[in-house]
Amino acid sequence: MEPLKVTIFQAYIFWENIEKNLSNLALKLSNLREKTDLIILPEMFNTGFTNNVEKCAETSDGKTMQWLFHMSQTLNCVIAGSLIIVENGKYFNRFVWMSPDGTYVKYDKRHLFAMAREDQYFTAGRERIVVNIKGWNICPMICYDIRFPVWSRNVGGAYDLLVYTANWPDKRSAHWRTLIPARAIENQAFVIGVNRVGHDGNDIYYSGGSMCISPLGDVVYYKPEDEDLYTFTIQPRDLQEARKSFPFLQDADSFNID
């Protein structure tokens, strides 16, 4: 494992305006002052959290996927976030991990937010994935997934970094600030949560609070309220020392998820 340089973009998202969001994101990302390994964007970074699938869904070779490839190639790093994808007549809230060579890995949101009727428009994913970069095993998840620790459980030490990309409302920000450190401590892994800021088309306010928490629960990065593009480095030695000094995962329960 090598040190991993991560860039979080806690972005303001223009409601259901793909063109404007991609333009804004590209402009801000062009101002990156240093080379990074991984850029993480919020959930539905090109539209905001919406059920308007007929207007906002794209195919896997659509405009936003092409944009992800172009930005990944231009910045020579992985770029990741979720968007609405239509496939075989079904809609998915899909996390895409795009590499500079144009190859990508996908994760479809497992837990759909029924209180906002997401389950009425989208199809839930069934498979958890782990990707690798610079020796780090990384498990991506989306927003509401964070409330389900069994789905997030680091069984067998499968991952080193857990990532949640989100549109998490300010009125539940206390839950966000609690659950991310909990997932880090209980899974002995770094956890990164990337949220958005501003009001959406339903007048729901998002206050950011994007963060990175170490396996010991220490704050590596935390930013409330404002749009923020920030790069930091996480160190393998911090992960290894945490697991060596208190190796409680070896006593964890063994189970499978259907």
Q: What is the pLDDT of residues 3-28, one digit of tens each?
A: 999 999 999 999 999 999 999 999 99
The 10 Å Cβ neighbour count of residue 209 is 22
Specify the pLDDT at position 30.
93
**Span 180-191, mean pLDDT?**
98
**Span 44-55, mean pLDDT?**
98
- Percent of the chain at pLDDT above 90? 95
Specify the pLDDT at position 47.
98
Residue 56 has pLDDT above 80, yes or no: yes
Specify the pLDDT at position 60.
96
The set of catalytic residues is 43, 109, 143
Question: Cα(103)–Cα(71) distance, rounded to whole angstroms?
Answer: 13
Residue 46 has pLDDT above 90, yes or no: yes
Residue 115 has pLDDT above 90, yes or no: yes
| 256: confidence class by pLDDT, cuts 50, 70, 90 | confident
pLDDT in tens, 144-179: 999 999 999 999 899 999 999 999 999 999 999 999
Specify the pLDDT at position 206.
98
Specify the pLDDT at position 214.
98
| 74: confidence class by pLDDT, cuts 50, 70, 90 | very high
Question: Cα(203)–Cα(139) distance, rounded to whole angstroms?
Answer: 31
User: DSSP letter string over 31-92?
Assistant: T--S--SEEE--TTTTT-S---HHHH-B-TTSHHHHHHHHHHHHHTSEEEEEEEEEETTEEE
| 135: confidence class by pLDDT, cuts 50, 70, 90 | very high
For 190, how many CA atoms within 13 A lie in the half-sphere containing its CB?
A: 26
Q: Hey, what are 25's tokens?
A: 């994101």
Residues 128-147: b if buried by 16+ CB within 10 A, e if exposed: bbbbebeebbbbbbbbbbbe
The 10 Å Cβ neighbour count of residue 154 is 19
